[in-house]
A = this chain, B = another copy of it.
Amino acid sequence: MKVIVDLCVVPMGVGVSVSQYVAECQDVLQEAGLKHQLHAYGTNIEGDWDEVFAAIKRCHERVHAIGAPRITTSIKVGTRTDREQSIQEKIDSVTERKN
């Protein structure tokens, strides 16, 4: 089942700067070979449900491993049976309406 996900991993108990932990998650997604796009409040990810959620689990494991005792993550996940849609097609479907 194909998904488009928005992932926002927030480590707790590690101070105010969390970019190091977000960068670690980018590495996990890169290693998984998943198409992903960082933005200011999360990362869009595109791929197969099992591969994407396995990578999200590894993000939690790695962020704990590099020192975060607690994590709160928010995930938005979209699936559809009427047609497949990529990250770029979702963006284009909006921007094309505005031109």
From known contacts A1-B60, A81-B69, infer whether A6 and B97 are also in contact, taking CB-CB under 8 Å.
no
Within 8 A of B (CB), among A79-99: 79-82, 87-88, 90-91, 93-95, 97-98
Q: Is the interface of A mostly helix, strand, loop or mixed?
A: mixed
From known contacts A1-B60, A12-B12, infer whether A76 and B20 are also in contact, taking CB-CB under 8 Å.
no
- For A42-63 the 0/1 string (1 means CB < 8 A from B) is 1010100110010001001100
Q: Does A32 sit at the interface, judged by CB under 8 A?
A: no
What's the Cα separation between A4 and B60 when bound, in Å? 13
User: How close is A96's CB to chain B, nearest CB, in angstroms?
Assistant: 8
Find A81's partner among B40, B49, B70, B81 (CB 8 Å cutoff): B70
From known contacts A6-B41, A82-B70, A90-B40, infer whether A12 and B1 are also in contact, taking CB-CB under 8 Å.
no
